[in-house]
């Protein structure tokens, strides 16, 4: 199973890299040079004389899509226009391969001065506080009062505030209402309705139509949502897996029941579609796959991928999953300052501009999700800068979810394409594992990462 999985992942990664190399955008005000496939380093020239003794140079790194790249480049250009004593070099690219690239940079101490990071990178790369600066040291420049203490606390590791959270995110259902209309039924608002929709799709539209499409990592997150709804406890508590093998097997059986009920296609079917990601799958674009369980911050790419005439709607959490409100929210993205930077105050000025100041917020909008900064959120709301779909999804997530996510949940050994989650759910879907074996694979892999 793992060997097949690695071949598929390698092929898809190569396809994405070639696509990015052919289609990457360039900004007319920048000098860009390709460092490696899928990664671009940009040096943008300000009006301050190059080499001025009063000017310092810092580097900013991030990953994302073209829209995020354009907005960030424009915001940085504006920052340099207003802060001519600081020159900002930019290093950015797509997600594919980015975590490996940054892992090398953090361990070799060659990372940029300011880095966009995933929340779990704090524990992965700086569990002892060695990689990222304690932002309390620059709080006179970076206004931390704009962020809730609860959000900031999620970025405290080793008694150090190692990053400032940009946004919160969680998973929720989205549906292609047009396909449900075609099947003659409403978008599901309960688990019972979702399961019924599977048979209706098959009988009315044909074997190729499914009300939901779930990849391996999607299945893992949905399973945890289900188990939290049933048992009312965090997935991991105090560094320990909080579920027995028998309880995990209940969740595995739930996921398999969705495949058995024609709610979601098999993993083999999805991989056989040959798409590098679900939003680029023709079956999603044309409405054959009519639902997803995705991050709020990913809503726009799935919506915009649909063929003309398709109606994309935000779903609801299912109250009949269990007696508890399952599901978690987490810090989506954060900015961190490298501990070895020579210019912490200038780095803090850049982050503050991007996250808190009107001029930066006006350009950035919601490119990194619904802003956590109170001033940024107010500015975006007052100036209609928030995408309505993302805002609706985010508000539902924040209102519903209450369970905590342990940062090890996103460890590469678990969620990577050759990791435990893929192994367990591919093995289950292909029939190589029964639910007991898949549960054991999950438990063993998670406990290994937890050091148990």
Q: Which residues are 88's β-sheet partners?
A: 58
Residue 415 lies in a domain: yes
Cβ atoms of 404 and 218 closer than 8 Å: no
60 CB contacts (<8 Å, ≥6 apart)? 72, 76, 88, 89, 90, 91, 112, 113, 114, 115, 116, 350
Is residue 5 scored above 70 in pLDDT? no
pLDDT at residue 165, as a whole number: 97
Q: Which residue has the higher pLDDT, 317 or 28?
A: 317
Q: Of 70, 73, 49, nearest to 60 (Cα)?
A: 73
Q: Are residues 289 and 428 in the same domain?
A: yes
How confident is the model at residue 298, as a pLDDT? 86
Residue 8 counted as domain residue: no
Distance, CA of 288 to CA of 160 (rounded, Å): 48
Which residue bears the tokens 């999603």?
Answer: 284
- Are residues 182 and 302 located together in one domain of the fold? yes
Q: Is the pLDDT of residue 49 over 70?
A: no
- Contacting residues for 245 by C-beta, under 8 A, at least 6 apart: 436, 439, 440, 443
Are both 120 and 188 inside the same structural domain?
Answer: no
What are residue 335's DSSP bridge partners?
A: 116, 164
What burial class does residue 15 get, using C-beta atoms within 10 Å of its C-beta: 0-12 exposed, 13-18 middle, 19+ buried?
middle
pLDDT at 22 over 70: no
Residues 99 and 161 reside in one and the same domain? yes
Question: Would strands 156-157 and 114-117 be described as parallel, antiparallel, or unpaired?
Answer: unpaired
For the ranges 11-25, 142-156, 263-277, the lowest mean pLDDT is seen at: 11-25
- The enclosing domain of 428 has a CATH number of 3.40.190.10
53 — pLDDT class (breaks 50, 70, 90): low
Binned at pLDDT 50, 70 and 90, residue 30 comes out as very low
Residue where the block lists tokens 């966009």: 116
What value does the mean pLDDT of the chain take? 90
In this structure, what token pair is assigned to residue 416?
């990577």
Judge if 237 and 154 occupy the same domain.
no
Q: Are strands 114-117 and 56-63 parallel, antiparallel or unpaired?
A: parallel
Residue linked to tokens 């930066």: 360
- Give the end of a domain, one of 344, 366, 390: 390
CA distances from 76 to 71, 283, 347 (A): 9, 38, 12
Who wins on pLDDT, 367 or 356?
356
Burial code (b: 16+ CB inside 10 Å, e: under 16) for 299-329 equals bbebbebbeeebebbbbebbeebbeebbbbb
Q: Please write the tens of the pLDDT for every residue from 293-309.
A: 999 988 988 999 999 99
Q: Is 235 helix (H, G, I), strand (E, B) or coil?
A: coil
User: Does residue 18 lie in a domain region?
Assistant: no
- What would the mean pLDDT of 57-72 be, rounded to a whole number? 93
Mean pLDDT, residues 137-165 taken together: 96
Q: What is the DSSP string of 174-219?
A: EEEHHHHHHHT-PPP-SHHHHHHHHHHHHHHT-TT-BS----HHHH
Q: Which two tokens stand for residue 44?
A: 């943008």
Q: What is the pLDDT of residues 253-293, one digit of tens each?
A: 999 999 999 999 999 999 999 998 899 999 999 999 999 99
- Regarding whether 235 and 109 lie in a shared domain, the answer is no
138 & 262 share domain? no
**Residue 12 covered by a domain:** no
* Cα separation values, 394 from 340, 371, 372, 387, Å: 35, 10, 11, 11
4 lies in a domain?
A: no
DSSP per-residue codes, 258-297: HHHTTSS--HHHHHHT--SSGGG-HHHHTTSB-EEEEEGG
Measured CA to CA, the distance from residue 328 to residue 119 in angstroms comes to 14
User: Does 353 share its domain with 423?
Assistant: no
Kindly state the percentage of the chain with pLDDT values over 90: 80
Q: Which helix (H) or strand (E) holds 331?
A: strand 329-337
Last residue of a domain, one of 390, 412, 431: 390
Specify the number of domains making up the chain. Answer: 2
- Same domain for 141 and 225? no
For 229, residues 6+ apart whose C-beta sits below 8 A from its C-beta are 318, 321, 322, 323, 324, 325, 326, 327
Query: Domain for residue 10, yes or no?
Result: no
Give the residue from 367, 390, 413 where a domain finishes. 390
Q: Are residues 372 and 435 in the same domain?
A: no
Q: Tell me what pLDDT residue 213 has.
A: 98
Does the pLDDT of residue 65 top 70, yes or no? yes
Stretch 124-151: mean pLDDT: 96
Residue 187 has pLDDT above 80, yes or no: yes
In the block, tokens 């449900």 appear at: 180
Residue 207's domain comprises 170-329+401-450
- What is the model's pTM? 0.79
Asked whether 44 and 73 are in contact (CB, 8 A), the reply is yes
User: Does residue 176 sit within a domain?
Assistant: yes
pLDDT tens readout for residues 413-441: 999 889 999 999 999 999 999 999 999 99
DSSP class of residue 142 equals S
* Judgement on whether residues 67 and 77 belong to the same structural domain of the protein: yes
CA distance 255 to 297: 24
Q: Does residue 194 sit in the same domain as residue 293?
A: yes
Residue 71 lies in a domain: yes
Where does the pLDDT of residue 46 fall: very low under 50, low under 70, confident under 90, or very high at 90 and above?
very low
Spacing of C-alpha 26 from chain mean position? 24
- The pLDDT assigned to 29 comes to 34
- Report CA dihedral (145, 149, 155, 157) to the nearest 10 degrees: 110
Question: How confident is the model at residue 416, as a pLDDT?
Answer: 87
């Amino acid at each position: 199973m793992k060997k097949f999985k690695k071949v598929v992942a390698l092929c898809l990664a190569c396809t994405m890299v070639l696509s990015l190399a052919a289609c990457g955008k360039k900004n007319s005000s920048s000098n860009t040079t390709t460092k490696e496939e899928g990664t671009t380093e940009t040096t943008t020239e300000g009006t301050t004389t190059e080499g001025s003794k009063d000017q310092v140079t810092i580097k900013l790194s991030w990953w994302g899509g073209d829209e995020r790249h354009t907005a960030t480049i424009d915001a940085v250009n504006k920052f340099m226009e207003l802060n001519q004593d600081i020159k900002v070099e930019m290093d950015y690219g797509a997600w594919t391969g980015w975590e490996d690239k940054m892992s090398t940079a953090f361990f070799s101490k060659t990372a940029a001065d300011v880095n966009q990071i995933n929340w779990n990178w704090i524990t992965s790369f700086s569990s002892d506080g060695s990689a990222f600066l304690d932002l309390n040291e620059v709080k006179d420049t970076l206004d931390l009062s704009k962020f809730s203490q609860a959000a900031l606390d999620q970025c405290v590791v080793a008694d150090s505030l190692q990053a400032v959270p940009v946004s919160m995110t969680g998973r929720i259902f989205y549906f292609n209402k047009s396909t449900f209309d075609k099947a003659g039924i409403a978008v599901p608002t309960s688990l019972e309705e979702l399961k019924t929709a599977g048979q209706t799709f098959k009988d009315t539209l044909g074997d190729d139509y499914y009300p939901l499409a779930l990849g391996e990592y999607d299945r893992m997150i949905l399973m945890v949502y289900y188990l939290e709804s049933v048992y009312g406890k965090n997935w991991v508590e105090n560094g320990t897996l909080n579920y027995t093998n028998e309880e995990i097997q209940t969740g595995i059986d739930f996921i398999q029941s969705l495949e058995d009920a024609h709610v979601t296609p098999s993993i083999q079917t999805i991989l056989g579609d040959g798409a590098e990601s679900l939003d680029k799958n023709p079956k999603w674009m044309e409405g054959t796959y009519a639902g997803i369980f995705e991050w709020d911050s990913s809503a726009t790419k799935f919506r915009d991928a649909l063929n003309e005439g398709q109606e994309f709607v935000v779903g609801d959490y299912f109250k009949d999953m269990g007696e508890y409100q399952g599901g978690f929210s987490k810090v989506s993205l954060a900015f961190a300052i490298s501990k070895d930077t020579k210019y912490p105050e200038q780095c803090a000025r850049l982050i503050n501009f991007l996250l808190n100041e009107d001029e930066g917020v006006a350009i950035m909008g919601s490119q990194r999700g619904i802003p956590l900064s109170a001033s940024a959120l107010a500015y975006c709301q007052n100036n209609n800068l928030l995408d309505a779909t993302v805002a609706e999804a985010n508000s539902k997530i924040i209102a519903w979810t209450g369970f905590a996510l342990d940062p090890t949940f996103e460890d590469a050994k678990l969620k990577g394409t050759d990791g435990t989650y893929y192994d367990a759910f591919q093995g289950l879907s292909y029939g190589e594992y029964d639910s007991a074996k898949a549960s054991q694979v999950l438990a063993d892999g998670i406990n290994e990462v937890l050091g148990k």
